[in-house]
Chains A and B, each alone.
Chain A
Amino acid sequence: MPSATGLPQRRELTTKPRFSDKVFRGIVTTGGLSSLLLLGLIFAFLAYQGFSILKMEKFSFITGSQWQVVLNDSGAIDKANTAFGIAPMLVGTILCAIIALVVAVPVSVLAALFLTFYAPPALKRFLVAIIDLMAAFPSILFGLWGFFILMPSAEYWAKLLHKYFGWFPAFKMEVPIFTRSPFVAGVVLAIMVIPIVTSISREVFAQTPLDRVQAAYALGASRWSMIRAVVLPYGRSGVVGGAMLGLGRAMGETVAVYTVLNIVYQVNWHVLVGAGGSVASMILLKFGEAGAQEVKALMAAGLVLFLLTLIVNSIANAIVAKSGGKGR
Chain B
Amino acid sequence: MTITTVKPTKPWMARPAQRLQSLGVFLAAIAISYFVVQISDFKGKLAYLTVFFLAFMVLDFIYQYLTLSKSAAKDAIARAVIAFGMAVVVFPIFSILVTVFLRGYKGLHFSLFSLDMRAASMNDPIGAGGLQHALVGTFLMVAIALVISVPLGILTALYLTEIRGRFTKPIAFLVQAMSGVPSIVAGLFILSALIYTVTRAYSGIMGSLALSILMIPTIARTSEEVLLLIPSDLREAGVALGGTQWRTVALVVVPAAKSGLVTAMILGIARVAGETAPLLLVAGGSDQTNLNPFNGPMASLPYYVWKAYSFGTAESVTRAWAGILVLLIIVLILFTTARFLSGRKG
Query: Do A and B touch each other in the complex, judged by CB within 8 A?
Result: yes
Assembly CA distance A274 to B203 (angstroms): 37
Assembly CA distance A312 to B181 (angstroms): 11
Cβ of A227: which chain B residues have Cβ within 8 Å of it?
78
Which size bracket describes the interface of A in this complex?
A: 35 or more
Cβ of A153: which chain B residues have Cβ within 8 Å of it?
44, 46
Cβ of B193: which chain A residues have Cβ within 8 Å of it?
41, 45
Interface string of A32-50 (1 = CB under 8 A from B): 1111101101100110110
The answer to whether A82 has its CB under 8 Å from any CB of chain B is no
In the assembled complex, the CB of B185 is this many whole angstroms from the nearest CB of chain A, namely 5
Nearest A residue (CB) for B81: A110
- Inter-chain contact A140/B225, CB cutoff 8 Å: no
- Inter-chain contact B180/A42, CB cutoff 8 Å: no
Identify which of B96, B158, B332 gathers the most chain A CB atoms within 10 Å of its CB: B96
In the assembled complex, the CB of B195 is this many whole angstroms from the nearest CB of chain A, namely 10
- Inter-chain contact B86/A138, CB cutoff 8 Å: no
- Inter-chain contact B82/A302, CB cutoff 8 Å: no
Assembly CA distance A141 to B216 (angstroms): 23
- Inter-chain contact B184/A32, CB cutoff 8 Å: no
Cβ of A38: which chain B residues have Cβ within 8 Å of it?
178, 213, 216
The answer to whether B311 has its CB under 8 Å from any CB of chain A is no
Assembly CA distance A34 to B271 (angstroms): 19
Q: A115-168: which have CB < 8 Å to B? A: 115, 118-119, 127, 129-134, 136-145, 147-150, 153, 156, 160
Q: A159-210: which have CB < 8 Å to B? A: 160, 191, 194, 198
- Inter-chain contact B324/A223, CB cutoff 8 Å: no
- Inter-chain contact A252/B181, CB cutoff 8 Å: yes
Number of interchain pairs (Cβ within 8 Å): 279
Interface string of B67-99 (1 = CB under 8 A from A): 000011011011101111110111011011001
Cβ of B85: which chain A residues have Cβ within 8 Å of it?
106-111, 113-114
In the assembled complex, the CB of A304 is this many whole angstroms from the nearest CB of chain B, namely 10
6 interchain residue pairs of minimum CB distance? A138-B274, A110-B85, A31-B155, A252-B182, A32-B159, A313-B180
18 contacts across the A-B interface (CB closer than 8 A):
A24-B249, A31-B152, A33-B171, A35-B171, A39-B174, A45-B192, A110-B84, A110-B85, A137-B331, A138-B331, A140-B305, A144-B309, A252-B184, A302-B184, A306-B182, A313-B179, A317-B177, A327-B176
Given contacts A20-B247, A313-B180, 19 further A-B contacts (CB under 8 A): A20-B246, A21-B246, A25-B163, A33-B159, A33-B167, A42-B186, A108-B89, A110-B82, A114-B85, A118-B79, A134-B96, A136-B271, A136-B335, A140-B276, A144-B324, A254-B183, A298-B188, A313-B176, A317-B177
